Structure 1
């Protein structure tokens, strides 16, 4: 493992030396894989375009990030910006210097990369959905066009994944092998969901049972290892110790913060899809009109960008987790139920009663 780490540091130094001028672009590509953008940008757009794809996207993102958390706890992966300070393989304290950035100081373990895993699983869903759509309207004489579309979409997929991986390595928050593991893991999770159509018609009971299972398994795994004197939050104090700027440490990068965020989103989606507002609007007569979908998509994306202005207080850890869960649950409730219902109401002729 030290071999991978040491060579990874050399790659990071090379990237930071030769590609510093591209920092803004690489920082943008890092945000492309941010799990929070999956819920605030990709999901509202795709759900209004295709409810099946949007629903699958949430399941894939939540389950993928849950697996990412479990593997982080198992693999105990170091991050470059603190590993060079903690390792003993460099003689006479001659550890290399890695530049840090405002997005460097994530506090959870580093392997596999959550950004790379989230990006690959969600983009895998989008690419496969787009290809399925093109197949449905192409006739037998369009084989060449289908092959061209297939090549373009998968080339775009790999271009985005490589860019996200390079950006995460560049800012010294991941080693190269960690982002590679993340991409492979994300694709495997997404591919597994190609064979689980039951989630598309899941009842509220199934959503609640899945939420409970994910929470209890993660909590039980954490408590079990604590009983064995294994601290799964070992990375948090190390991250705080070696981060160049204390202001770059954020509570929403801790392991349990991601778990709470994902459980909140899945919980909210279950209630939203099984609500009367969703059935009346998205499954009603307006639900199939392009104008209705465009208005819902534009309004949803705008509203979720305003959500970014709402900051959950971090002075009390337990309060942070509770409010973070509530904020996350409100995202699918807003996108799936509230906004479509409001748009549906606004599109009704005056004087017509809404049942």
Structure 2
């Protein structure tokens, strides 16, 4: 079998790393539901904010990991000197254990907390307008229920990451609270809802140049920010479990692609025509958009990006990540809008 860059082999399992693409598959299509114009606008706000939070949160996670130099349990127990007479514990590894980046803070915990924070606060914003006493009581019960669900999910994510030996407890705890801080900051950043395509491009360039510049400056200082990759290759129980998707720059490229695709979609003529027209108020239109979007996103999952050339992998990852939000935001609604308009003309 031909060995690929960074120890990746052909046929490697797909990455389980959380990314904006996961947000598109799980949350954004569902954010399209809404029976009133106000609900639709609120759902659009929540969907847009989810992607921004996922992208910026993952970017901060990358920078934090480069600063904190956190080890992962599956290689740390093999190299630490605190266990005498080679009595280090034997940690079981799984296909999703062997991530190649540094471990602190946990990207899964941070991504989960920031995205779910946006979803919970978005759902609660429906109930804050209720005025009568019974509605206030219902709001309080809803508040308690949703935040209980939030913490149950975060605790489950943290336990699972520790169980598979890819994070220490303090790393997942740090990830959860860092994600909440990022999401809370975006609650006070309304400008993202009216951002132009130019703003999206400028944000993409800033995130990329800052991350790349940070990496190159430290490399000139003889500090290798990819120090964790050799450790992962050395101590992973199965080389087939090492995936290029888990490398720091792979995540960065996916994030930039998703943000660019969102900006392209929201600022396109297709979005203006379909999602701001009269059909956008119809429940049938929105249900069809959700169903078609979910189907298209599943088709994207079948697209396998070649990993034999690292730079080609990054370019294609960017294109695939950009295509997913562009499809959900603009292409699918426009096609359904055109189809419904054609059908209405035939009926009339």
Q: Normalized against structure 1, the TM-score is what?
A: 0.88
Secondary structure class of the residue paired with 1:195: coil
The structure 2 residue matched to 1:269, chosen from 262, 281, 289, is: 262
Please state if 1:61 is matched with 2:46: no
User: CA RMSD of the aligned region, Å?
Assistant: 1.7
The structure 2 residue matched to 1:43, chosen from 28, 35, 43, is: 28
Secondary structure class of the residue paired with 2:129: helix
How many Å apart are 1:91 and its aligned residue?
1.4
Q: In structure 2, what is the Cα distance between the partners aligned to 1:134 and 1:302?
A: 31
Larger helix proportion, structure 1 or 2? 1
Which ranges of structure 2 fall in alignment gaps of 5 or more residues? Answer: 1-14, 35-42
Q: In structure 1, what is the Cα distance between the partners aligned to 2:261 and 2:106?
A: 26
- Partner in structure 2 of residue 16 of structure 1: none
Q: In structure 1, what is the Cα distance between the partners aligned to 2:94 and 2:21?
A: 19
Matches within 5 A, 1:39-188: 39-47=24-32, 50-137=43-130, 139-188=132-181
Q: Deviation per CA, 1:229-273, whole angstroms, max 9, x where unpaired?
A: 000011111101111111111100000000000000000111100
Q: In structure 2, what is the Cα distance between the partners aligned to 1:76 and 1:127?
A: 32
How many Å apart are 1:137 and its aligned residue?
4.4
Query: Residues 264 and 117 from structure 1, CA distance in 2 versus in 1: closer, same or farther, beyond 3 angstroms?
Result: same
Query: Residues 131 and 202 from structure 1, CA distance in 2 versus in 1: closer, same or farther, beyond 3 angstroms?
Result: same
The worse-fitting range, judged by mean Cα deviation, of 194-203 and 33-42 is 33-42
How many Å apart are 1:44 and its aligned residue?
2.3
Please state if 1:313 is matched with 2:306: yes
How many Å apart are 1:308 and its aligned residue?
1.0
Q: In structure 1, what is the Cα distance between the partners aligned to 2:316 and 2:185?
A: 32
Q: In structure 2, what is the Cα distance between the partners aligned to 1:33 and 1:162?
A: 16
Q: In structure 2, what is the Cα distance between the partners aligned to 1:36 and 1:83?
A: 31
Determine if contact 1:47/1:53 at 8 Å carries over to the other structure.
no
Which ranges of structure 1 fall in alignment gaps of 5 or more residues? Answer: 1-29
Query: Residues 323 and 67 from structure 1, CA distance in 2 versus in 1: closer, same or farther, beyond 3 angstroms?
Result: same
Higher relative contact order (CA 8 A, sep 6+): 2
- Partner in structure 2 of residue 211 of structure 1: 204
Q: Deviation per CA, 1:303-346, whole angstroms, max 9, x where unpaired?
A: 11121111111110000000000000001110000000111111
Query: Residues 351 and 298 from structure 1, CA distance in 2 versus in 1: closer, same or farther, beyond 3 angstroms?
Result: closer
- Partner in structure 2 of residue 221 of structure 1: 214
- Partner in structure 1 of residue 322 of structure 2: 329
Q: In structure 1, what is the Cα distance between the partners aligned to 2:16 and 2:78?
A: 26
Q: In structure 2, what is the Cα distance between the partners aligned to 1:121 and 1:342?
A: 32
The worse-fitting range, judged by mean Cα deviation, of 97-106 and 44-53 is 44-53
